[in-house]
Structure 1
Amino acid sequence: MEEPPQIIRRRLLSWVLAGLVLVPAHHLCNQILLGFDVTVLDEGHGLDDVGIQGFWYPNRNVFSLVDQLGLKPFTTWTRSAQYLGEDLHVEFPVFQELPQVPTPLGTLYYSQFSRLSLADKISLLPLMAAGKSLLHYVVIDYDNTDAAWRKYDSVTARELFKQFGCSESLYRNILRQLLQVGLFAPPEQCNTAAMLALFYYLILSHQKDFDMVWSRGTVREMIFNPWTDSLEERGCKFLRDKSVTDFILSDDDSGYVTQVICGRDKISTIQEIIKKRSNVFKVLPSSVFICLLCSLCKREEFLRVLNLRAVDVVYVKLKLDRKVTIPHASNACSVLEDSYRWTFFDLNSIYDAYKEEEQTVVRTDFYNMNELIGTTDEMIVDKAIKNMSKCVKDLKKAVVMEADVQRFPQSLSYLFPGSYKHMIRGSTSVPNMFWERKLVDYVGERSFVRIIPIQEEEPHVEALRTLNRTINHLRSQIPFSTY
């Protein structure tokens, strides 16, 4: 008689920061027949509420997930504003409510630029001389592949803007501010690859991609908490307030991780399996500080991660003594000569809990303002009120009744020129350890996460991309310099 198939229980251990590892945990909990035991180590720092507030139109997987969970966590599509100093520079409409025109004409035409001339707008349109233009790079040549990232990693975004004809007014008043908002650093500090990815994905791919919704409460309470409850119901184990301090590697030549050390706790990754068939263990490190762990500090790939950079974040939530009318629920702001940027939100318009409040509740986030993180709460509150009052004059008269200040040093990464070579892109030299973003691809079962298509490329974009691929193929046959 043929021996019956044997059940192999594979253990997957995820180290989660800001809810990021919930994505592969969610997928693998659905793979019942593959026999995964999924455990998530949750450091519990609450970073999910910093840097993850709004959701763009292309985030179709996020919208699909909340539908699966039966949640209704979002506002309607909202208008937003961008300030430079105390001046309102741009008001962004809800683009999907307007007639659709070929990209990027809708983004330029419908946005209400207060200090941008027609000539400045035209400088961003395709000047296809010799096949080179900003639009050519953003929409046609850049395809978000490994080769594209390597190609554009070494050049600053500012260099590209200058090289391909953007006017000084367009750069200083609009593009520089957009990058400070989207990439947490000014163009002279960001690599071109990151800039192209941001511009293509959110601005120039389709007219409505810039539209946003906001969480009607903190992201943790509206999405992550019910999501983790759903995962626990399907057998996922959560170990709360567990910070990884080291790994134990096997003594043999395999180099597998056998235990994860969390302070005084040791979490075993080895499980007895019928006939001692091979174990599968996946660790998903989510912080560059994992490189400091003793067991990994001699491995070059992990040490390289220490070359990456991050910015400080300061979060301020204020309850004022009166109701102040704030024109836009979400606002992005920057200062012309400074590298920091900040945002402020009218929580009375966004959060369900504050809609009936008789006082104004606002929130301000400061990014890349290193000198602020070491100051007192009182100084930070004063800075927040001073900045917001420049944009909304009535805030000058308001008195702060309650304040909540939180600091997150080095909590949001940004991609500087040359940073791509320091990043880990999936597998590592430890056979059963994978970097979080590539975990599901490497499980080895060919059961990939389903990516929800956003929208097909517009016909003129697809035609130009096809032509560009043909030209690049022909050029590759000729021994031009490639450095």
Structure 2
Amino acid sequence: MLAMSKWFTLTPFMSNRFSKRVGFSNSPGSVRAHVNGGGDDTNNSKNNDKKKKKKVVVVGSGWAGLGAAHHLCKQGFDVTVLDGGDGIGTPDNVGIQGFWYPYKNIFSLVDELAIKPFTSWTRSAQYSGEGLEVEFPVYQELPQLPTPLGTLYHTQFVRLPLVDRLTSLPLMAAVIDFDNTDVAWKKYDSITARELFKRFGCSERLYQDIFGPLLQVGLFAPAEQCSAAATLGLLYYLTLAHQKHFDVAFCRGTTKQKIFEPWVGSLKAKSCEMLEHKKVTDFNFDEETGCVTEVVCGNETYSVDAVVVAVGITTLQETIKKSAALCKREEFLKVLNLAGIDVVTVKLWLDRKVAIPNPSNACAGFDDLFGCTIFDLNVIHDEHKDDTETVLEADFYHANELLPLNDELVTEKVISYLSKYINDLESACVVAKEIGRFPKRLTHFFPGSYKYMMRGSTSFPNLFMAGDWIITRHGSWLQEKSYVTGLEAANRVVDYLEEGSFAKVIPVEEDEPHIEALRSLNRRLNEIISQVPLSSYFLQ
């Protein structure tokens, strides 16, 4: 399964505004010590004859933060990771995550760590409020057909008539037009996913029973609240670019147990310092150079030569509001316009065996309020394989109405919801439960959100950003995007400090020849249209 992770392509990297490799001087933070509660210049003077390691602080310990720390440690930097208090893995330790076939960089990392955290490729299903809609096979086991024929032909639609399925084909025009460029994002980001499907002639039933539920568990919000640009990007990356891309595996335990904990162990072995319960409140910077010199956590400070901020939107917004440095920068103030999505996770132990249709089941149709995924933990997690009773988990997205309820009410509602899809669930008794509440934890790609999102470089020359909401041209999504932006941030640090080698970022698989040909033709047509008088006069 992980053989593909051996394919590497070196991603050339240069900062958006400058390259230290063509003549910048050493950063001012290099003369400051890494201390808690202030510096001691007397002690610093004793080490003047020794070449000190450059200090890099990484804020956040999820895929992006650990990804940056992983590469920077290998390059010999003095790396400190600050976790804000929610535990190692923040902001990515929420619920159960799938690991899709195109996650080449994550699979490569797992190979490097010499761990085997994943299940085999698994079958899954999708339900609407009317019942079972789609069964997804393991696509790589089937004859490979050109996109999108493989997805249409091999996917087992239970209720949707062929005529409704065929109304999805015109959407390929938008898929081809959306090439992940800045122009494409600005063109499609202002409209909703629902409007996108309407414009390209999708049938009402295709929208209600297939696309709507898919987005509720893919972008974690109803289609009328999702950006059309994000919708096109996600759909192409996971379902349309190549037939086998929709194959998915899961961790054989929690992501924290199976990946983050051994990963952190390997980082500590490389002298990476992991500090928990450290909420960043501000950044001190040199007025003359504009470079960040210290990361502030309450009364403690950490001197730096470079910083990588790899936190979720809500956490960054809290920091911006407290920070005298960030609240004066336009790119950070724009972040205050972004939003997160509430998640509630419900793990239930039942008093008997109950048949759950598939290891993973995506469900929607709960009054169009939220979507959820149901997981059979007896199949997925090693610790429950031999249990004589059923253990399941249901992760609810856009769960605004579940978030304030107490555990008993949440459990009661969840049993009522899931009974629509799991036979005999109402007759089973819940003997134990774990309820997780994660307010505003997932990124909300709402219409118009692109103009508020940040790029990897900032107006501080030595402060860089990473996360699944950071703009990148790599083309990946979800955990893979977070990890890739972490590697890209590490490359920016390497470039700025003029030390070390660039991380090798595996690119997404190239478009199939007919898609590339169509995209080339589309670009030429767009160039011709742009030359037509008044072509930009009317609202697009």
Confirm or deny a common fold (TM above 0.5). Answer: yes
- Structure 2 residue corresponding to 1:42, chosen from 75, 80, 83: 83
1:336 Cα deviation from its structure 2 partner: 6.3
- Equivalences for 1:250-269 in 2 at 5 Å? 250=286, 252-269=287-304
Distance in 1 (alpha carbons) for counterparts of 2:241 and 2:50: 49
1:17 shift after superposition: 4.4
The match for 2:519 among 465, 471, 477 is: 465
Report what 2:429 is aligned to: 399
Q: 1:347 to 1:52 in 2, by over 3 A?
A: closer
Alignment partner, residue 156 of structure 2: 112
Q: 2 CA distance for matches of 1:115 and 1:307?
A: 40
Q: How does 1:334-349 map to 2 (within 5 A)?
A: 334-335=364-365, 337-349=367-379
Letter in 1 for 2:264: T
1:16 paired to 2:41: no
Q: Do structure 1's residue 96 and structure 2's residue 137 form an aligned pair?
A: no
Instruction: Give the corresponding residue for 1:415.
Output: 445
Residue number in structure 1 paired with 2:481? none
The question of 1:137 aligning with 2:198 is answered no
The one-letter code matched in structure 2 to 1:222 is K
Q: Which deviations, in whole Å up to 9, do the C-alpha atoms of 1:421-460 show, x marking residues without a partner?
A: 1111122222221112352342225943322244332221
Q: Measure, in 1, the Cα distance between the counterparts of 2:302 and 2:320.
A: 19
More moved, 237-246 vs 442-451: 442-451
Does structure 2 retain, via aligned residues, the 8 Å contact 1:100–1:106? yes
CA–CA distance in structure 1, aligned partners of residues 404 and 114 of structure 2: 42
How far apart are 1:7 and its partner, in Å?
4.7
- Say whether residues 1:153 and 2:174 are aligned partners: no
Structure-to-structure mapping, 1:303-382, within 5 angstroms:
303-335=333-365, 337-382=367-412
How far apart, in 1, do the equivalents of 2:428 and 2:333 lie? 49
Give, in whole Å, the separation in 1 of the partners of 2:528 and 2:501. 36
2:511 maps to 1:474: no
Cα distance change, pair 198–158 in 1 and its aligned pair in 2 (3 A): same
Higher relative contact order (CA 8 A, sep 6+): 2
Q: What letter is aligned with 2:80?
A: T
**Aligned-partner residue type, residue 84 of structure 2:** E
Work out whether residues 314 and 365 of structure 1, in 8 Å CA contact, stay in contact via their aligned partners in 2.
yes
Cα pair 1:259 1:268 within 8 Å, conserved: yes
Q: Distance in 2 between matches of 1:91 and 1:124?
A: 18
Asked whether the 8 Å contact 2:62–2:310 carries over to 1, the reply is: no
The partner residue of 1:288 within 309, 316, 337 is 316
- Helix, strand or coil for the counterpart of 2:522? helix
Residue 181 (structure 1) aligns with:
217
| Cα displacement string for residues 368-407 of structure 1 (whole angstroms, at most 9, x for unaligned residues) | 1212111111001111211121111121111111111111
Q: Distance in 2 between matches of 1:85 and 1:380?
A: 19
| Identical columns (%) | 54
Cα 1:243/1:52, change in 2 over 3 Å: farther
Greater than 4 Å deviation, 4+ residue runs? 5-8
Q: Does 1:203 align with 2:239?
A: yes
Q: Which of 176, 199, 218 is the aligned partner of 1:163?
A: 199
Counterpart residue type for residue 137 of structure 1: A
Comparing 45-54 with 294-303, greater Cα deviation is found at: 45-54
Q: Is the 8 A contact 2:366 2:417 kept in 1?
A: no
Count of aligned residue pairs for this structure pair: 457
Distance 1:234 1:359 in 2: 42
Aligned partners of 2:337 and 2:509: how far apart in 1? 36
C-alpha separation in 1, matches of 2:264 and 2:97: 18
Q: Distance in 2 between matches of 1:137 and 1:402?
A: 47
Secondary structure of 1:370's counterpart equals: coil
Conserved 8 A contact 1:312-1:367:
yes
Matches of 2:195 and 2:368, distance apart in 1: 18
Q: Give the counterpart letter for 1:469 in structure 2.
A: R
- Taking the aligned partners of 1:422 and 1:73, their CA distance within structure 2 comes to 36
Provide, for residues 214-263 of structure 1, a one-character-per-residue CA deviation record: whole Å limited to 9, x for no partner: 0000000100011111111122211122111222233x332332222223
Once the two structures are TM-superposed, the CA of residue 320 in structure 1 deviates from its matched residue by 0.8
Distance 1:348 1:11 in 2: 45
Change (3 A) 1:450 1:478: farther
My pick for the range that moved more, 441-450 or 344-353, is: 441-450
The CA RMSD over aligned residues, in Å, is: 2.0
Structure 1 CA distance for aligned equivalents of residues 177 and 491 of structure 2: 26
Matches within 5 A, 1:54-133: 54-85=98-129, 87-125=131-169, 133=170
SS in 1 for 2:447: coil
Conservation of the 8 A alpha-carbon contact between 1:142 and 1:196: yes
Distance 2:289 2:432 in 1: 56
Which of the numbers 466, 479, 490 marks the counterpart of 1:440?
A: 490
What is the aligned partner in structure 2 of residue 386 from structure 1? Answer: 416
Q: TM-score, normalised by structure 1?
A: 0.90
Q: Is the 8 A contact 1:86 1:391 kept in 2?
A: no
Take 2:84 and 2:415, find their aligned partners in 1: how far apart are those partners?
32
